[in-house]
């Protein structure tokens, strides 16, 4: 079953939106008892230099993400995608965890956070030291063959693409949250795509494209994490797409508090107790400090 891509939403009424607050006490109170599950979105990685989709200056204002249907149905679309993604991968590879990622990892080490479900594909939660991370939409550091289903490291594909496209180094207008660089068709040119090294099939990043369903076993694993949690803390997500919103609805139906830290209104506001409109790095570092939890690097 394929989901229709949802790129935006419009609240039915002003009553559906929570007014943004700067009061972090509800978040501190929830974390003080432990067992809080984190659901993160692109907004937590903006301070690492990776833009989000829908915030101020978000990539959707200039960029339509690749859909599963386009990728599988068109060799031209795949060439365009891999040229742009090959260039964008270099930027993703240089990104480092920011204060928000580090605070989540510190809260998890102190058992205040029970786990992390992330909608991001950048691997920054793990780089910060978080261990129990479910990558809801997969990760850009892996590649899967659509024929034989073999999974291989992205760095191997990067080496093969470099060899097939020597000197490919156009200047991109920007980088998007899915690792896709903004290039014109002229810049893409005759970029050469490589097949699966094992069977010659079509290679795809091991991520869930827009219009593609999240694997059901992954969804069920996340639902279990919600059931076992004491509260759900949403960080940097507009919750526009159902893949993340479903867990907010589940937590609300189970009577568990939903707390959101996001500057802009979200589709999950009707189910939340509060929405804190503060920068995530500042907010989460402050929360950890109030709980007496030091925030350091992943090896501290």
Which domains, and CATH codes, for the chain? 22-50+97-137+213-300 (3.40.50.1220), 61-94+141-207 (no CATH)
pLDDT value of position 66: 85
Whether 221 sits among the annotated catalytic residues: the reply is no
pLDDT value of position 9: 56
Q: Are 110 and 291 in contact (CB under 8 A)?
A: yes
What proportion of the chain, given as a percentage, has pLDDT over 70?
Answer: 89
Backbone conformation region of residue 241, classed left if phi is above 0, alpha if psi is from -120 to 50, else beta? beta
- State phi, psi for 204 to the nearest 5 degrees: -140, 145
251 among the known binding-site residues?
no
Measure Cα distances from 86 to 2, 151, 157, 200 in Å. 26, 17, 9, 19
Q: Is it the case that residue 59 has pLDDT exceeding 50?
A: no
Q: Is it the case that residue 7 has pLDDT exceeding 60?
A: no
Residue 204 tokens, joined: 């795809």
243 among the known binding-site residues?
no
pLDDT digits (tens, 9 = 90+) for 207-263: 999 889 999 999 999 999 999 999 999 999 999 989 999 999 999 999 999 999 999
299 among the known binding-site residues?
no
Give this prediction's pTM.
Answer: 0.89
pLDDT value of position 4: 42
pLDDT digits (tens, 9 = 90+) for 160-174: 999 999 999 888 877
**Residue among 63, 86, 125, 137 flagged as catalytic:** 137
pLDDT value of position 172: 80
- State phi, psi for 96 to the nearest 5 degrees: -125, 150
Strands (E), 108-160: 113-118, 133-135, 138-145, 151-153
196 among the known binding-site residues?
yes
Q: Is it the case that residue 273 has pLDDT exceeding 70?
A: yes
Q: Are 58 and 264 in contact (CB under 8 A)?
A: no
pLDDT value of position 61: 45
32 among the known binding-site residues?
no
pLDDT value of position 297: 60
């Amino acid at each position: 079953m394929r989901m229709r891509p949802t790129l935006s939403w419009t609240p039915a009424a002003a009553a559906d939106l929570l007014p943004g607050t700067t009061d972090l006490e509800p978040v501190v109170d929830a974390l003080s008892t432990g067992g809080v599950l984190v659901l993160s979105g692109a907004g937590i990685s903006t301070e690492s230099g990776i833009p989000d989709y829908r915030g101020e200056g978000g990539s959707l204002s200039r960029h339509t993400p690749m859909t599963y249907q386009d990728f599988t149905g068109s060799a031209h679309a795949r060439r365009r995608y891999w040229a742009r993604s090959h260039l964008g991968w270099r930027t993703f590879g240089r990104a480092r965890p920011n204060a928000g990622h580090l605070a989540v990892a510190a809260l998890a080490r102190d058992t205040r956070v029970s786990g992390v479900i992330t909608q991001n594909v950048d691997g920054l939660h793990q780089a910060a030291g978080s261990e129990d991370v479910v990558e809801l939409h997969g990760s850009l550091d892996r590649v899967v063959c659509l024929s034989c289903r073999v999974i291989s490291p992205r760095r191997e594909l990067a080496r093969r693409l470099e060899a097939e496209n020597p000197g490919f180094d156009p200047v991109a207008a920007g980088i998007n949250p899915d690792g896709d660089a903004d290039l014109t068709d002229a810049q893409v040119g005759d970029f050469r795509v490589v097949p699966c090294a094992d069977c010659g099939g079509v290679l795809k990043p091991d991520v869930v494209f827009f219009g593609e369903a999240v694997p059901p076993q992954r969804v069920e694993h996340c639902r279990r994490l919600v059931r076992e949690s004491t509260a759900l803390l949403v960080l940097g997500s507009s919750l526009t797409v159902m893949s993340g919103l479903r867990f907010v609805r589940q937590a609300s139906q189970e009577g568990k508090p939903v707390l959101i830290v996001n500057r802009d209104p979200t589709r999950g506001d009707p189910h939340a107790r509060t929405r804190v409109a503060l920068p995530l790095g500042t907010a989460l570092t402050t929360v950890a400090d109030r709980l007496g939890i030091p925030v350091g690097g992943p090896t501290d």
